[in-house]
């Protein structure tokens, strides 16, 4: 993963979506460590409860409902959505994105399909990647294995996953996350190629 980016190159927006549990956070963490591009994760704000393994300001900015609404009223979000429809809100902070892009960073947004569609209207040249689990059965296995969901939230996440898997046509790239290493390698290659392509046709990639 070489081909260093020149410091004078402009920043880029990279949207990574995929159903909850597909492995986005796992893949993005390694991508940031291993891919030789000036990638930076945009830390979203959320009102969902903090998990034991979450660090405030690293995984998310954890806000109360009131704080979130206040930031909505102040126009602080590039996009926001109630992802699973149970009163838990998630949003991309404008200043995270603009500060990074202005300093030549490649800002990675790990957001849902609805948020991605909104951001694409504002930034049509964003690179878009949808991470696919291969099957809903495999997705369930990963969500169960992560051990973070109640039976109710697991069922809801799988229901939303079905909707997301049917709405991938807005993405330029669809990558099946069979193994983390291969997925990271493939996404890094896609990003390297995108340096010379303002926009691309839809392509399907698997790590097989
Ligand atoms: P997301 O951020 O999309 O919700 P996570 O990164 O939290 O997903 O991954 C969900 C679970 O799946 C974690 O337990 C993670 O270790 C596991 N996982 C991620 N990628 C793979 C993979 N390629 N194969 C098997 N398990 C995976
Ligand atoms: P989790 O609760 O598992 O951390 O995240 C659930 C889902 O919320 C993720 O799979 C991701 O698609 C979505 N998400 C996270 N941050 C944002 C955001 O800022 N905006 C939108 N629209 N979706 C987000």
Q: pLDDT for 134-186, tens place per residue?
A: 999 999 999 999 999 999 999 999 999 999 999 999 999 999 999 999 999 99
34, pLDDT greater than 60 = yes
pLDDT given for residue 196 in this prediction:
76
Q: Is 145 in the pocket of ligand 1 (CB under 6 A)?
A: yes
Residue of minimum CA distance from atom 5 in ligand 1 = 23
Percent share of the chain, pLDDT over 70? 90
User: pTM score, two decimals?
Assistant: 0.93
pLDDT given for residue 2 in this prediction:
47
Find the angle CA(53)-CA(187)-CA(42) to the nearest 5 degrees. Answer: 45
All structural domains of the chain, each given as residue ranges with its CATH number in brackets, are: 12-206 (3.40.50.300)
Rounded-to-integer distance, Cα 202 and Cα 158, Å: 25
pLDDT given for residue 207 in this prediction:
40
Residue of minimum CA distance from atom 17 in ligand 2 = 111
Q: Give the tokens for residue 208.
A: 């097989």
């Amino acid at each position: 993963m070489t081909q260093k980016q020149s410091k004078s190159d402009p920043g880029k927006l990279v949207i990574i979506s995929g159903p909850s549990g597909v492995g986005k956070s796992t893949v993005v963490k390694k991508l940031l460590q291993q891919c030789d591009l000036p990638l930076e994760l945009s830390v979203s704000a959320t009102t969902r409860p903090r998990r034991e393994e979450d660090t405030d300001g690293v995984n998310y900015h954890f806000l109360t409902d009131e704080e979130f609404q206040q930031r909505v009223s102040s126009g602080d979000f590039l996009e926001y959505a109630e992802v699973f429809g149970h009163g838990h809100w998630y949003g991309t902070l404008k200043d995270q994105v603009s500060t990074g892009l202005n300093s030549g960073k490649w800002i990675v947004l790990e957001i849902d399909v609805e948020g991605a569609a909104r951001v694409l209207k504002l930034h049509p040249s964003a690179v878009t990647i949808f991470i696919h689990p291969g099957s809903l059965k495999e997705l369930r296995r990963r969500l169960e294995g992560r051990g973070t969901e109640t039976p109710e939230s697991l069922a809801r996440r799988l229901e939303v996953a079905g909707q997301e898997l049917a709405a991938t046509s807005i993405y330029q790239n669809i990558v099946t996350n069979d193994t983390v290493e291969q997925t990271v390698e493939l996404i890094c290659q896609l990003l390297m190629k995108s340096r010379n392509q303002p926009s691309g046709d839809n392509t399907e990639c698997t790590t097989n």
